[in-house]
Structure 1
């Protein structure tokens, strides 16, 4: 299978890590909206009453530094480095836009999804955020 064929099969939403996070949050009694296009960056999970959003980032696509799942491919390295740098810049811009609009932004990485302790921490962070008055 060629690289382009392989990369074309990678989805941008409804990924397995995202489903795991969604199941854990739903089981904890937290209700959310999915992929709100009216917000910058189309967050994966939106908690309107808490003014909080959650992004479930893939370690490769969002340059998770120090993660074993992130390394730049050996073929066309310069192109991949530039593309992934643009992704990282866009993530920072989206985060600052959301925070400036009064939203709390939480990021959970693909490699953290398997860690049930991290998912518990995320649920506690979301429950601590104030409800809309």
Structure 2
């Protein structure tokens, strides 16, 4: 497990390349507010959009996730704890006003970037309301 990359994985870098090519700027490995030991893979801080690129094995992809047969009891607990931590992180971020996007490692970067770009654009629009300029 210590050899597993925590950031800059191939799927994460591929998604970041597509997002950067589209002119989107972001932060990498941004701390989750109130949870300093957890980080957001790709964070759009102004729009408050958190993007996580999850590995199928480590995060329990329903279509591609597997459970090892050796020491299976320990692995079942470990992978369940990972999913519970993901759910808790999502809840913490959503309570703080962030939108959370989870991308599986097997998703095509272009399609994932479409979802991310759409969410960032929607959250970046300024609400139309009364002007802050007061006329006397």
Structure showing greater Rg: 2
Equivalent position of 1:14 in the other structure: 8
Equivalent position of 1:52 in the other structure: 49
Equivalent position of 1:93 in the other structure: 88
User: Which of the two has greater helix per residue?
Assistant: 1
1:38, CA displacement in angstroms? Answer: 4.9
| Distance change (3 Å), C-alpha of 1:43 and 1:56 | same
Task: Determine the C-alpha separation between the residues in 2 that align with 1:48 and 1:84.
Answer: 29
Match of residue 35, structure 1, among 29, 32, 42: 29
Task: Determine the C-alpha separation between the residues in 2 that align with 1:34 and 1:115.
Answer: 17
User: Which of the two has greater strand per residue?
Assistant: 2
Matched, 1:80 2:75: yes
Residues 17-62 of structure 1, C-alpha deviation per residue, up to 9 Å, x if partnerless? Answer: 0000100100111100111125343100111110111001111100
Query: What is the TM-score with the length of structure 1 in the denominator?
Result: 0.84
Contact persistence 1:50–1:132 (CA under 8 A):
no
Query: What is the TM-score with the length of structure 2 in the denominator?
Result: 0.82
Matched, 1:105 2:100: yes
1:115, CA displacement in angstroms? Answer: 5.5
Is the partner of 2:43 in helix, strand or coil? strand
Runs (5+) with no aligned partner, structure 1: 1-6
